Structure 1
């Protein structure tokens, strides 16, 4: 009997972003054995990451830590230790996650975050690749509708103003922010580039505002998919429709580069969400399918909603299955 040998390979998926939404999708893609590269923002200046950045001149490690844990094959006990955050009454280490301290230490040992994360990826038995968007810490800057400018992620989201545009500068002086060649190569050779889910102005756009990253996302032959947020965010996307999210992305890069948008159409039950616990989220994003089509986007709408702990999340498994399906399609079908 003749055996038929196929040259099947898993589609190459590059996911760009940061924040709490990114690991949810990565965990589900990991379960599907996808060929994953995560490009993670390095412009965070809040929480444990911000404190470490203030005292140690390294890229803030929090988002990178969560992505490493999502793609790791270590036993759960080891991951629990890596993710452990000291209690607030431990004054010296209050609020710090052990993984953040490990990443900061390796960054000093390896003279940079990129090599540190590659070393840690081996130690943690990572499937795929985790790439910091830049080897240097970046500062997020914003221009507001009232004409004012503010620097720093926490300051921007806490300003209570409408953001018009954002950009990044190096925390190391006049050096121009750039991504290492591995990041650019991953984007250019991908089958699909995924943006989000995550905060539009503070998790997704900081990556795209690194000039060679933005250029690569516009020039890649891969289809570019945006996973639209389910809820609007205080200080960022108040009153935004799904089309306005995409419009902001396109305006920042000066081109209609988003090919496909994943939109949740399942309503969030009234009074389900705990707005004290999840105080940054406001109301459900409204749909503007006509506006999305005017932006040359294909829209995939479905029930992508996951309700958990009185919070609203994407159903990682449903999104991952949809992304894997899209990644298996020829790019010329979309672009």
Structure 2
């Protein structure tokens, strides 16, 4: 099982699919930026962007059909400007099927998905944050744009003014209980990973699971979220939010990122390589696997999919042998 959102999750999922792993992806529904945010505001659906990318990662459709699903209209197209066709299809199916969960299951069949894709909840969620200066904000894009140090985050139902607790999709909890390995990340710590775990039943199920919980630590820090964070800081935030040291193993990249290679204008969310604090990780009870997990591409620093997946499968075999 892989829990997360954003751009890092599909990369790992595609690698696991290619190794014939039995994959369940649990995807955040708290995105409110870009095409997803516009659709969410206009037709009140769960934001489809992260789900669209996960569908493509696990699909066995021909590449042309996936390219059509991913096609994003040009900015000159006015009404459709910036929208991906897949986002429109997911939104339409959500209305037809009365919810994002049945819509994604229908699409999974249509797109020949290998594995399972579960939106973490069947309703749009709002991400809320309290910053270290005591101020609070709501909305993932607003929180990221504030560029202030985050103290804690939590999620609330977007369509409920009474504040009823967020209910996860029951299949998500069952999948967590049945998982042989729970992988968290890579992805934005506060805005892609924690929105899933902040649903109480989801966080409790992960903490109670007998499966090994593996955190894939980000290679670069993120502006406005994790500036100056070490790998131990990332894990500490996760553990603090869930109230216990639940991360068993951490994958850490130790291959240096060449400074002159990165294009900070193109990749304007990244700040600097994540620092290392192996003692801090061990103090939190983590097994540390440090290796070269780096892939340099398009003047950016990413995880090497094949190396990460090989390590995840190694851990799975070691635990169960």
TM (norm. structure 2) is 0.98
Tell me, what secondary structure is at the counterpart of 2:318? coil
Does residue 22 of the first structure (1) align with residue 9 of the second (2)?
yes
2:296 equivalent in structure 1 = 307
1:305: Cα distance to partner?
Answer: 0.2
Does residue 130 of the first structure (1) align with residue 82 of the second (2)?
no
Tell me, what secondary structure is at the counterpart of 2:61? coil
Tell me, what secondary structure is at the counterpart of 1:49? helix
Does residue 68 of the first structure (1) align with residue 66 of the second (2)?
no
Paired residues in the alignment total: 319
- 1 CA distance for matches of 2:159 and 2:315? 39
- 1 CA distance for matches of 2:48 and 2:54? 10
Superposed counterparts of 1:118-197, under 5 Å: 118-173=105-160, 174-197=163-186
Structure 1: runs of 5 or more not aligned? 1-13
2:209 equivalent in structure 1 = 220
Structure 1 or 2: larger helix share?
2
- 2 CA distance for matches of 1:295 and 1:205? 18
Superposed counterparts of 1:85-104, under 5 Å: 85-104=72-91
Contact 1:178 1:213 in 2 (8 A): no
1:200 equivalent in structure 2 = 189
Tell me, what secondary structure is at the counterpart of 1:90? helix
Tell me, what secondary structure is at the counterpart of 1:232? strand
- 2 CA distance for matches of 1:318 and 1:135? 34
Contact 1:227 1:261 in 2 (8 A): yes
- 1 CA distance for matches of 2:88 and 2:182? 30
- 1 CA distance for matches of 2:316 and 2:122? 28
1:107: Cα distance to partner?
Answer: 0.2
TM (norm. structure 1) is 0.94
- 2 CA distance for matches of 1:137 and 1:50? 11
Contact 1:191 1:328 in 2 (8 A): no
Does residue 275 of the first structure (1) align with residue 264 of the second (2)?
yes
2:284 equivalent in structure 1 = 295
Does residue 324 of the first structure (1) align with residue 316 of the second (2)?
no
- 2 CA distance for matches of 1:330 and 1:264? 22
- 1 CA distance for matches of 2:284 and 2:69? 42
2:255 equivalent in structure 1 = 266
